[in-house]
């Protein structure tokens, strides 16, 4: 029966000077968890070790109990001699994580739970895993000395000195007798003193646990049992089990060698020139026992076959020779130096992948504590899982005296009874074990339920806290976004303010007017200038290009009430060709050519000569008056023409003599002959007489009067009033004639 203590830090740190560490302690007996204890301090742990004296104290790292070699020596001296300290995660140089080590024995646990980590460490140690920490050699020093100082009062009398020195000598002889009785070899080094010995050092050639002497202090005598320290702390495997590996070989003048473990981890890869098979076998043996020897050829070469037979390993070859691109794909993720290492590594990796599906299925079917590598090796060799797990059951001999004189004759019935009794005994043990497992599971279920309830409460509190934090984070993000937006706006406003200051400074110059430069006559350019410097009442714009202009941008400029727009010479000529200047005249917005103004531009602003600008603006105003006058004349002519067309239609319809019309209503074209209306017969007794047909009259087109150069032109309002009054008189006459007729 093997008792194992597994510990893991629950809180605190061994390096801390203020908070002492607390451990979770799990007791495992014969691979079964029997108890669990939390909040164990270092002094309590030492008391429990001396009280229960377990065979193994398992830790996942010795740093949890001793951060330095000096403290580790002290800790190992304090624990019982028969208790071995086992580190389950490695030998101090090649370390692995606890989940990786536990997975080899098909163990699963929660990494965040110290109790389950302690349990995993204890189970791995009970299954034979881990490394024993050795700090002492096989020599133990027993020192017997005085228990009080000679400098104190009362030691002036010789009888007291003789009494103490005699006691040291007597206790030394008693210890020598015990060592001799135990059959241990030893050497004695004594320091003679008055009345006996002041100090005796006994070097025993045996480990500390074999020495039948304990450290003690009694009266004036004290005994210290100290094992001899090693020069360096060493780690020794608890059980020396065979490491199973998969070997890939590429034979030839230069031999390529790659070794994988059964988890697919690359252990070694090399390429050696002119190496004999014996040297290759010796190199492979350093890393473990091969269960598979693989090659990249469809037919295994003779050199590889010779090495395979030396290990009685399973051969693996591909269905056809592996292509180079397939080799690179297989060796991806591994490091190799040349083509020989690549070929051997590809063979080993593909061999591992061919067995990997079987390896994955094994984890679900294996009980906890099973050596997975041993089972995998058996599966590769073609054994079934039952054959691997089943062990031969040795018959239990009865405790009866042996009598050679009386022969024992057993018939078939006795054999059957013995077999059934053995089976019943086996089933009873199984039932007992299952009952204990059931009790342990019930306890585990209750513990997990309590833990689940606690974690749910903690999770609920965390969720409420996280929602509040998320709301605050969202509000903070929105505030930061608004702050960045305001910062950008402030930066834009500062730039705009600087440009406006420069613009105002230019505006204040003597004999110059400031202008704002706009690259293109477009609405987005107007908006850009407005955002940067503002487009205000009385500003002067200098537009460089007019590509793609539209009437909407002209309306925007007119609404902004700018003072004028200046174009470069070529742009002004293009504007005249595209009738853009006429559009400016229609909205009464001055558009000036920069030929005589000589604008000077620097960036987004510039200056123009004030006198030249005033002269150009006066010329524009004069031309604008002429343009407006022409527009009024054209509007009047169009109105008169429309009126004449309407009158001609009425004359042709009513048959009025054109000679009776006013002078300005004479038709310029002959009136077309109206079509006769169809006669409609009404049922009245007396039909009305038909009106006489209107004779055709010639339309006289008066000649246009010659223009009188010095005659004053009548106003449009007066002419329109006279035409309207004449039209009203004529309509009254026509209405009177129709009523009389």
Q: In Å, how far are 114, 118, 450, 731 from 25, measured between CA atoms?
A: 9, 7, 19, 124
Phi/psi of residue 562, each to 5°?
Answer: -75, 165
The pLDDT, as a whole number, for residue 717 is 52
Phi/psi of residue 632, each to 5°?
Answer: -65, -40
Whole-number Å distance between alpha carbons of 170 and 190: 12
Q: What's the whole-model pTM score?
A: 0.44
Whole-number Å distance between alpha carbons of 23 and 174: 41
**What are 203-216's pLDDT values in tens digits?**
888 888 888 888 88
- Tell me the average pLDDT across 54-61: 90
Per the model's pLDDT, the better-predicted residue between 368 and 591 turns out to be 591
Its sign, for the CA torsion 109, 27, 366, 430, is: negative
The pLDDT, as a whole number, for residue 686 is 45
The pLDDT, as a whole number, for residue 503 is 63
The pLDDT, as a whole number, for residue 708 is 46
**What are 289-305's pLDDT values in tens digits?**
899 999 999 888 888 88
pLDDT band, residue 415 (cuts 50/70/90):
low
The pLDDT, as a whole number, for residue 660 is 58
- Tell me the average pLDDT across 492-511: 67
Termini Cα distance of the chain: 147
The pLDDT, as a whole number, for residue 654 is 64
Range 3-129 has CATH code 3.30.420: yes
Contact yes or no for 188/202 (Cβ under 8 A) = yes
The pLDDT, as a whole number, for residue 333 is 86
Report whether pLDDT(585) > 80: yes
**Beta-carbon contacts of residue 231 (< 8 Å; ≥ 6 apart):** none
Q: What percent of the chain has pLDDT over 90?
A: 8
The pLDDT, as a whole number, for residue 669 is 44
Helix (H) or strand (E) holding 247: strand 244-250
Report whether pLDDT(219) > 90: no
- Tell me the average pLDDT across 232-246: 82
Q: How high is the mean pLDDT of the chain? A: 79
Residue 369's Cβ-count burial label (10 Å; 0-12, 13-18, 19+) is middle
CATH of domain 244-380: 3.30.420.10
Range 509-624 has CATH code 3.40.50: yes
The pLDDT, as a whole number, for residue 501 is 66
Minimal CA–CA distance to 344: which of 382, 307, 381?
Answer: 307
Return the minimum-mean-pLDDT range out of 97-106, 352-361, 620-629, 630-639: 630-639
Its sign, for the CA torsion 249, 252, 255, 256, is: negative
Residue 245's Cβ-count burial label (10 Å; 0-12, 13-18, 19+) is buried
Report whether pLDDT(524) > 50: yes
Range 138-230 has CATH code 3.30.70: yes
- Tell me the average pLDDT across 146-170: 72
**What are 542-581's pLDDT values in tens digits?**
998 888 788 888 888 888 888 899 999 888 888 888 888 8
- Tell me the average pLDDT across 718-730: 64
The pLDDT, as a whole number, for residue 259 is 92
pLDDT band, residue 510 (cuts 50/70/90):
low
Per the model's pLDDT, the better-predicted residue between 670 and 393 turns out to be 670
**What are 161-200's pLDDT values in tens digits?**
888 888 888 888 888 888 888 888 888 888 888 778 888 9
Q: What percent of the chain has pLDDT over 70?
A: 81
The pLDDT, as a whole number, for residue 258 is 93
Q: In Å, how far are 534, 553, 616 from 565, measured between CA atoms?
A: 15, 12, 11
Whole-number Å distance between alpha carbons of 483 and 24: 52
Sorted by where each begins, the domain ranges of the chain are 3-129, 138-230, 244-380, 509-624
Contact yes or no for 39/22 (Cβ under 8 A) = yes
Report whether pLDDT(709) > 70: no
Rounded to 5°, angle at Cα 420 from 417 and 421: 85
Helical H runs in 523-661?
523-532, 551-560, 569-577, 580-586, 610-654
The pLDDT, as a whole number, for residue 350 is 92
**Beta-carbon contacts of residue 664 (< 8 Å; ≥ 6 apart):** 640, 644, 723, 726
Can 3-129 and 244-380 be said to share one CATH topology? yes
The DSSP letter of residue 730 is H
Residue 292 structure tokens: 């598979």
Largest CA distance in the chain: 186
The pLDDT, as a whole number, for residue 685 is 45
């Amino acid at each position: 029966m093997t008792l194992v203590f597994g510990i893991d830090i629950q809180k605190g740190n061994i390096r801390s000077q203020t908070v002492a560490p607390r451990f979770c302690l799990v007791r495992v007996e014969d691979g079964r968890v029997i108890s669990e204890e939390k909040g164990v301090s270092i002094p309590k742990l030492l008391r429990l070790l001396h009280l229960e004296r377990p065979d193994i104290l398992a830790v996942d790292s010795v740093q949890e109990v001793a951060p330095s070699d000096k403290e580790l020596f002290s800790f190992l001296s304090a624990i019982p001699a028969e208790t071995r300290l086992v580190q389950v995660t490695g030998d101090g140089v090649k370390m692995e994580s606890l989940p990786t080590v536990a997975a080899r024995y098909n163990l699963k646990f929660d990494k965040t739970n110290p109790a389950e980590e302690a349990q995993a460490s204890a189970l791995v140690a009970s299954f034979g895993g881990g490394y024993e920490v050795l700090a002492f050699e096989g020599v133990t020093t027993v020192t017997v000395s005085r228990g009080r100082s000679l400098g104190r009062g009362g030691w002036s009398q010789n009888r007291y000195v003789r009494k103490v020195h005699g006691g040291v000598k007597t206790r030394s002889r008693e210890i020598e007798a015990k060592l001799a009785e135990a059959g241990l070899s030893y050497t004695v080094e004594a320091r003679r003193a008055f009345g006996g010995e002041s100090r005796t050092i006994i070097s025993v050639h045996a480990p500390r646990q074999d020495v039948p002497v304990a450290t003690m202090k009694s009266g004036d005598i004290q005994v210290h049992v100290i094992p001899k320290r090693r020069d360096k702390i060493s780690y020794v495997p608890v059980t020396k089990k065979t490491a199973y590996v998969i070997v890939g070989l590429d034979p030839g003048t230069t031999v390529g060698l790659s070794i994988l473990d059964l988890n697919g981890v690359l252990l070694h890869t090399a390429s050696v020139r002119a190496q004999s098979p014996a040297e290759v076998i010796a190199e492979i043996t350093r890393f473990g026992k091969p269960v598979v020897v693989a090659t990249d050829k469809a037919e295994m070469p003779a050199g590889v076959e010779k090495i395979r037979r030396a290990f009685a390993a399973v051969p693996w070859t591909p269905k056809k020779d592996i292509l180079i691109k397939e080799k690179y794909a297989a060796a991806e993720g591994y490091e190799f130096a040349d083509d020989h290492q690549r070929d051997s590594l590809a063979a080993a990796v593909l061999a591992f992948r061919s067995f990997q599906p079987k390896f994955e299925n094994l984890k679900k079917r294996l009980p906890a504590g099973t050596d997975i590598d041993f089972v995998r090796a058996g599966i590769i060799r073609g054994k079934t899982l039952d054959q691997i797990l089943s062990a031969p059951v040795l018959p239990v001999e009865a405790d009866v005296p042996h009598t050679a004189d009386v022969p024992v004759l057993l018939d078939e019935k006795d054999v059957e009874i013995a077999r059934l009794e053995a089976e019943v005994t086996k089933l009873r043990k199984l039932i007992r074990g299952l009952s204990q497992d059931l009790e342990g599971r019930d306890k585990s279920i209750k513990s997990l339920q309590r833990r689940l309830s606690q974690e749910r409460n903690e999770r609920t509190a965390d969720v409420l806290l996280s929602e509040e934090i998320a709301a605050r984070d969202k509000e903070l993000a929105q505030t930061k976004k608004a702050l960045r937006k305001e910062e950008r706006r402030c930066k834009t406003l500062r730039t705009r303010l600087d440009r406006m200051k420069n613009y105002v400074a230019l505006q204040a110059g003597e004999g110059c007017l400031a202008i704002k430069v706009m690259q293109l006559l477009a609405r987005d350019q107007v908006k850009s200038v407005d955002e940067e410097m503002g487009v205000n009442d009385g500003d002067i714009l200098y537009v460089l290009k007019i590509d793609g202009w539209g009437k909407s941008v002209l309306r925007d400029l007119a609404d902004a009430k700018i003072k004028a727009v200046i174009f470069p010479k070529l742009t002004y000529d293009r504007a005249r060709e595209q009738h853009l200047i006429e559009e400016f005249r229609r909205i009464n917005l001055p558009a000036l050519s920069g030929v005589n103004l000589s604008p000077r531009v620097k960036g987004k602003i510039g200056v123009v000569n004030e006198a030249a600008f005033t002269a150009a603006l006066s010329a524009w105003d004069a031309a604008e008056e002429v343009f407006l006058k022409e527009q009024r004349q054209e509007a009047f002519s169009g109105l008169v023409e429309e009126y004449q067309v309407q009158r001609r239609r009425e004359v042709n319809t009513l048959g009025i003599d054109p000679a009776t019309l006013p002078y300005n209503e004479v038709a310029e074209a002959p009136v077309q002959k109206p079509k006769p209306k169809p006669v409609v017969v009404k049922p009245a007794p007396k039909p009305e007489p038909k009106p006489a047909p209107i004779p055709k009259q010639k339309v006289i087109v008066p000649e246009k009067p010659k223009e009188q150069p010095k005659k004053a032109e009548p106003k449009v309002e007066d002419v329109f009033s006279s035409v309207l009054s004449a039209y009203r008189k004529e309509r009254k006459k026509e209405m009177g004639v129709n009523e009389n007729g």
